Structure 1
């Protein structure tokens, strides 16, 4: 954790384009979500682009829906989205030997409720969720063979 961001990374044994294809399909987000809160996409394209909106069925205790907007996008390298609280979930992909380094960041620095996120320690739960999401991505794509 660094101020108002939480970040971690893993290396997976897949090209960046393949990883990006999964991340950019909101109808598949439940497959890699480590938080256990994402249920299903209820609206949105099959392939996200900058400024696209997509709705998700979620559950934290009680079920609810949230609409996200893609706010960062660079094909096969970067995708980030936020909901009305303006916290960004960002995935950065970097080709490395044997695969792709996937960095996930929860960035609440621009959120109007950042003080509340910090005060109630919600970012700590996001740190665990990020680690679990990255483990799921490793399970999906595998890990590079050691040299």
Structure 2
């Protein structure tokens, strides 16, 4: 599943926001990402691991591993269940087209994701995330 939004922002600036785990709670449109856990990198790179404090019904922690990294065009990380959150950045006239993808093809428990309605829930969160990303990336520094 994916959501795409055109933004009047520089592709590198948008990529930099996603490459900084501390920014993830600010752009998360689902309301589930609460804080970056200490001890991780300040900037993501291929193979980097980072952990987040989360809340979805209950508080929990999640460990992510960056599995795709092509600056400034692509960044993606995998959760424990095997699904990947991916962002693609494409230059377009006047800015950047950003596509957020939730790729559950490699998830270990795809049936549970369907039964818990994650595809529908994630679609709304992804749309809100791209709106927040656009706001953050275009705000004066």
User: Would you call these one fold, judging by a TM-score over 0.5?
Assistant: yes
Match of 1:61 among 57, 60, 66: 57
TM-score (norm 1): 0.89
* Structure 1: gaps of 5 or more residues: 1-5, 143-147
Residue of structure 1 in register with 2:129 after alignment: 133
* Structure 1 residue ranges (4+ consecutive) displaced by more than 4 angstroms after TM superposition: none
Secondary structure at the counterpart of residue 55 of structure 1: strand
* Structure 2: gaps of 5 or more residues: none
Task: Tell me how far apart the structure 2 counterparts of residues 67 and 141 of structure 1 sit (CA, whole Å).
Answer: 25
Task: Tell me how far apart the structure 1 counterparts of residues 6 and 108 of structure 2 sit (CA, whole Å).
Answer: 33
Aligned residues: 137
Q: More deviation in 57-66 or 118-127?
A: 118-127
Deviations 1:28-69 (A, max 9, x none): 101100000111111311110011000100111211111000
Q: Is the 8 A contact 2:29 2:126 kept in 1?
A: yes
Q: More deviation in 25-34 or 112-121?
A: 112-121
Task: Tell me how far apart the structure 2 counterparts of residues 61 and 86 of structure 1 sit (CA, whole Å).
Answer: 21
Q: CA RMSD in A?
A: 1.1
